[in-house]
Structure 1
Amino acid sequence: MLGEAIAAHRADQLDVAEVLYRKVLQRQAGQPDALHFLGVLCHQRNRSEEGIRLIRMALRAVPLHADAHNNLGNIHKECDQLTEAEACYRSALVCQAQHHDALSNLALVLDVQGREDEALEAYARLLAQAPQLGRAHYLMGMFRCRHVHDTGDVEQAVECFRNAVLHDDADVRAREELGVALYMLGRSEEAVAVYREWLVREPDNPVPRHLFAACGGEAPPVQADEAYVRNVFDSFAASFDEQLLKNLDYRAPQILVAALVAKLGAPQAMLDVLDAGCGTGLCGPLIRPHARRLVGVDLSGGMLAQAGLRGGYDELVEAELAAWLRAGSSAWDIVLSADTLIYFGELVPVLSATHAALRPGGWLAFTLEALVGESDRVELAASGRYRHSRACIERALEAAGFRESVIVGESLRKELGTQVAGWVVLARKSGV
């Protein structure tokens, strides 16, 4: 029965798995594996306190269970209880000194706590323990990219990503980061070669196709391919918040909603709000006090699953934003979009669809990455995201029908150790 429960759990059949785990515990109270895995499952179902309690019960029965210590640390980490997470990972390493997951997780929580030297030492230990593990090289590369003091750090990251690909040919994240790092070093021909080789291996993969264009391999599309966006965000939905909030100092949702709320006044829960490109739902709790109805739409089913766990939405829809807006009959008081339109080069179609979907007097609020200069320009950056000039945004807003707008420069995230310049845009539809 325990084997059936684990198989259902691995197949993401959580209802079935939970019933089976509990039946095991009815037959054998305190069975440690059932307690451990049921604890993990409870956390997956947004019942983290119950999950912590169950895994602690398992560890009382089997105190040297390294995997249980590591998974308990993961729950604490994802609940932002970093001190507790660190203690769990250290306990796992006492039980099993070469527990690679526990060591990489320890390095991450040390890094998040600002203990850069200790984190570097932990990543170096991981590489020393597992020099053939591609993931170890990838993680060291990402650490180097988060802590760029000079170009030498980026060059070391390039070597790490090359080694990650060498030891794990299927690691698409390492290939992507390798191309971006090479481009940032001005080695655009090498970046193009990375994506060209990747395309030869996987000609139907939308990720290298898009990034090949981003590095100048071919003319950029007017909008990122739906398959590219879905693929990218599905692939790291589970770690999205951790990567952006803790590693990249991501602030777009807070800055965007704060700018919008300043226009709305005191919350009265009276507005129909669309979170356009809602991702994991970071904007939801911030705008919820103003919303009578809050709907999230996103291309990525994986991201929507995370938004569902976060809660607060009345409805979540998997769809391409512009097409869904054009097809819908709903009227919105607010459409907000944190870092979604960065995947649109040409803004007029999506802004026109949004204008049509807003009620008179309704607000559109969105963020973009900034392109410096006075001219009307848009470019596809090596990151795979578009950057727009102020003049380009002003033209697109006017063409879409917006007559009242404010565009403010802000830093929205870090990339390769430096702040990424962005725009916070508020636009209002005419009428009352």
Structure 2
Amino acid sequence: MQAHQAEDLDAAEQLYREVLELRVAQPDALHYLGVLCHQRGRSDEGVELIRTALQVTPQHPDAHNNMGNIHKECGRLREAEACYRKALGCGPQHHNALSNLAVVLEAQERPQEALEAYERLLRQAPRFAQGHYLLGLLLRNNAQGIEHIEQSVECFRAACALEPRFVQALEALSVSLYVLGRTDEAVQVYRDWLVREPDNPIPRHMLAACGGAEAPQRAGDAYVRDIFDRFADSFDEQLLQNLDYRAPQVLADALAQVLPPPAAALDVLDAGCGTGLCAPLLRPHARRLAGVDLSGGMVEKARQRGGYDALRVAELTAYLQEQPAAWDVVLSADTLVYFGELGPVLAAAHAALRPGGWLAFSLEAKEGDEDRVELTASGRYRHSRAHVMQALERSGFRDIRIAGDSLRKEFGQPVRSWVVLACRDGDAGPATRAWTA
């Protein structure tokens, strides 16, 4: 267990198996080896190991809870719910199981039941900061009016009071204040945070996002790395289940209109791969599928999910500049929202594509006809259609297609987005030749 907690998974797995050689049905070794197998992308094996452990100790709430976590992270929400309810049957005060139950109820679009679960949790554990934070997210994600945003502020304040260094709660608090028009209070949250942690890139970037400092041309590497390393464990859950995140599927559908039928013939780059949500959608087209992301935590999740031939931790523009004419397709799902000025990264993508290759990406939309970019309170940039078109044209792309859509929710409302396709100029490359053939 010490090796496991230190993330030395090779040593931990070997030691768990040695225990099981000495005592075949040792329940703790079965349970924690099951958790480890899931961490290494062998989720089905993990479920069977924990199931075996529960045959020996059927009233073990931690094992039921961890079985639920595996089901939840694999998208099996009903099975996860059943496991959390079993954990609570064994241990009614199991705060993590109750918190997890509320999360999967919300993900199944049962917000009233989720609300009741969070209220029960906070009656049992009023000093559980994570519970206050998650209740705030529930209220904000499902907001039906301004009062729900105001209630989320109180939840986030409670979480921050209990854990002053709770990064996600501090950021959520300021964003809710900004949305309510309480800009001075939002700015003060980040200024106070910077006084405590002057070298922390998160409050520095978010202070600019709230208008308290000049906006940078793009989000800094340290900010992006820190945010997504912290977010890696809950990324899929928050985006797919709570925010109706659709970017991977929508971009894959858009590419399907211009690519040949899937034949595993193309070299494909998932640029800003995150946890690997795009991998199963791109794999049928790919002879070689690579992923790159600035966050090591995200890349590790993508490695566990599988599907890639290569993964690398790197800054996107620099990585593309190292890959001249290497790719038939470059896809970037909600990564360029952290770039203000798009010119440098689009020029790098153009150079990394082979002639006739396709770039597909998504952005948050800035309305209006002018060439405009703005940094929003979320920490992400919005781009006008004119800015996107001009940046692509200056980079040398042709056959540019920009469609409006909604790829996620925020504060219970759809976020207006752009879905963009563009072809590298020059003679037809492998992707186009395969299509015409």
Q: What TM-score bracket applies, with the shorter chain setting the length?
A: over 0.9
Matches within 5 A, 1:214-293: 214-293=209-288
**Matched residue, 1:165:** 160
- Aligned counterparts of 2:342 and 2:145: Cα–Cα separation in 1: 35
**What SS does the corresponding residue of 2:308 show, helix, strand or coil?**
coil
Which runs of 5 or more structure 2 residues have no equivalent in the other structure? 429-437
Name the SS of the counterpart of 1:312 in structure 2.
coil
**Shift of residue 119, structure 1, vs aligned partner:** 0.9
Per-residue CA shift, 1:85-143, capped at 9, x if unaligned?
11211111121111100000111111112222111100000111111121111011011
Aligned to 1:41: 36
Deviations 1:50-74 (A, max 9, x none): 2112212222222221111111111
2:24 aligned with 1:24, yes or no?
A: no
Which secondary structure does the structure 1 equivalent of 2:127 belong to? coil
Selected match of 2:336 from 325, 337, 341: 341
Alignment of 1:378 with 2:373, yes or no, is yes
Alpha-carbon spacing, 1:200–1:262, altered in 2? closer, same or farther (3 Å): same
Q: How many Å separate the matches in 2 of 1:341 and 1:263?
A: 21
Q: Percent identity?
A: 64
| Other structure's SS at 2:63 match | helix
Matched residues in 2 for 1:85 and 1:370: separation?
36
Question: What's 1:420 paired with?
Answer: 415
Q: Which residue number corresponds to residue 210 of structure 1?
A: 205
The equivalent residue for 1:103 is 98
Equivalent of 1:57 in 43, 49, 52: 52
Match of 1:189 in 2: 184
- 2:93 counterpart letter in structure 1: Q
How many angstroms apart in 2 are the aligned matches of 1:294 and 1:122?
42
Q: Which amino acid aligns with 1:132?
A: R
Contact preservation (8 Å) 2:108, 2:241: no
Matched, 1:89 2:84: yes
Q: CA contact under 8 A between 1:336 and 1:366: conserved in structure 2?
A: yes
SS of alignment partner, residue 94 of structure 1: helix
Amino acid at match of 1:313: Y
- Provide Cα deviations, 1:8-50, integer angstroms capped at 9, x if missing partner: 1111111111111111111122111111111111111222222
CA distance in 2, matches of 1:253, 1:80: 16
Aligned equivalents of 2:79, 2:422: Cα separation in 1: 44
**In 2, are the aligned partners of 1:35 and 1:54 still within 8 Å (CA)?**
yes
The answer on whether the counterparts of 1:133 and 1:168 sit within 8 Å (CA) in structure 2 is no
Give the Å deviation of 1:357. 1.4
Structure 2 contact 205–379 (Cα < 8 Å) conserved: yes
Q: Which runs of 4+ in 1 moved over 4 A?
A: none
Residue 330 of structure 1, CA deviation: 4.8
2:70 is matched with 75
Aligned to 1:175: 170
CA deviation profile, 1:75-94 (whole Å, cap 9, x unmatched): 12122222221121111112
In structure 2, which of residues 307, 323, 331 is the aligned counterpart of residue 328 of structure 1? Answer: 323
Go from structure 1 to structure 2 and tell me whether the alpha carbon gap of 1:331 and 1:54 turns closer, same or farther (over 3 Å shift).
closer
CA contact (8 A) 2:268 2:286 kept: yes
Question: Which residue matches 2:304?
Answer: 309
TM-score by length of 1: 0.97
Q: In structure 2, what is the Cα distance between the partners aligned to 1:368 and 1:80?
A: 26
State the Cα distance separating 1:404 from its structure 2 match. 2.2
The residue type equivalent to 1:384 in the other structure is G
The aligned counterpart of 1:138 is 133
Count of residue pairs the alignment pairs up: 427
Distance 1:86 1:358 in 2: 45
Could you tell me which residue of structure 2 aligns to residue 3 of structure 1? none
CA RMSD of superposed structures (Å): 1.0
Give 1:403 shift.
2.8
Moved more, 32-41 or 172-181: 32-41
Post-superposition CA distance 1:195-222 (Å, at most 9, x none): 1111111110100000000000011000
- Paired residues for 1:350-389 under 5 Å: 350-389=345-384
* 107 and 9 in structure 1: CA distance in 2 versus 1, 3 angstrom threshold: same
Unaligned runs of 5+ in 1: 1-5
Report the 3-state secondary structure (helix = DSSP H, G, I; strand = E; otherwise coil) of the residue aligned with 2:233. coil
Contact 1:280 1:310 in 2 (8 A): yes
The one-letter code of the counterpart of 1:235 is: R
Deviation at 1:413, TM superposition (A): 0.3
Q: Partners of 1:263 and 1:27 in 2: how far apart? A: 58
1:125 equivalent in alignment to 2:120: yes
